[in-house]
Amino acid sequence: MSGVIFFFHHRYLVQGFSPTNKQVPITLLSIGHQVDTSNRTVELRFAFDNDESFFSDQMATITINQTAQVQGFWVPLSALIDGIRGQWNIYIVQPNEQNTYTIDTMTVNVLYANRQYAYIQGLPLENHAIITQGVHRFSPGQHIRIAEPESTEVPATSAGSHGK
């Protein structure tokens, strides 16, 4: 329980399932000292910072904004691969001789994710090439050659040569 106490002096926003369905500020007053064995929850008691009224035991969504300065990297969600025991992996590309590469798996910790990106930790702080799309097409230990980017230039045509 001691790990929860640092939230004590923070303010939160709560959105209850009421006709207005608006967010209101609240303050955490106390944390229960007993875990409910049926659902593994702990009771929390909050005070409304203004004169809002909710019902006792009413369900609500609490928004907790927490800022932490942690070293890590942003990667697209498409780069994450399911690992064992609920862990996440990414494919990194290790250079070999003769301009070839080997795919290797690295376990990472996802610290934060939104709809497009995940903030991960677990890569050493050095340059890594990672596979960000089409991870289902690759496997660890696979040898690959990185293709040169295709030219996006459109060839010039003369005005009179349109298939006549």
> What was the pLDDT predicted at 2?
34
18 burial (CB, 10 Å; 0-12 / 13-18 / 19+) is middle
Q: With 70 as the cut, is the pLDDT of residue 154 above it?
A: no
Q: Does residue 164 sit within a domain? A: no
Task: Categorize the per-residue pLDDT at 164 as very low, low, confident or very high, splitting at 50, 70 and 90.
Answer: very low
DSSP 3-state of 2: helix
> What was the pLDDT predicted at 9?
41
At residue 68's C-alpha, the angle toward residues 123 and 32, to 5°, is: 120
Q: Which residue segment(s) compose the domain that 8 sits in?
A: 2-63
What's the total number of domains in the chain?
Answer: 2
**Shared-domain flag, residues 77 and 104:** yes
Neighbours of 2 (CB within 10 A): 5
User: Tens of pLDDT along 45-68?
Assistant: 777 777 666 676 666 777 767 777
**Shared-domain flag, residues 22 and 44:** yes
**Shared-domain flag, residues 112 and 139:** yes
Q: How far apart are CA 32 and CA 41, in angstroms?
A: 10
**Shared-domain flag, residues 134 and 78:** yes
Q: Does residue 157 sit within a domain? A: no
HSE-up of residue 45 (Cα within 13 Å, Cβ side): 5
Q: With 90 as the cut, is the pLDDT of residue 77 above it?
A: yes
Q: Does residue 150 sit within a domain? A: no
Task: Categorize the per-residue pLDDT at 109 as very low, low, confident or very high, splitting at 50, 70 and 90.
Answer: very high
**Average predicted confidence (pLDDT) for the chain:** 77
HSE-up of residue 87 (Cα within 13 Å, Cβ side): 12
> What was the pLDDT predicted at 150?
73
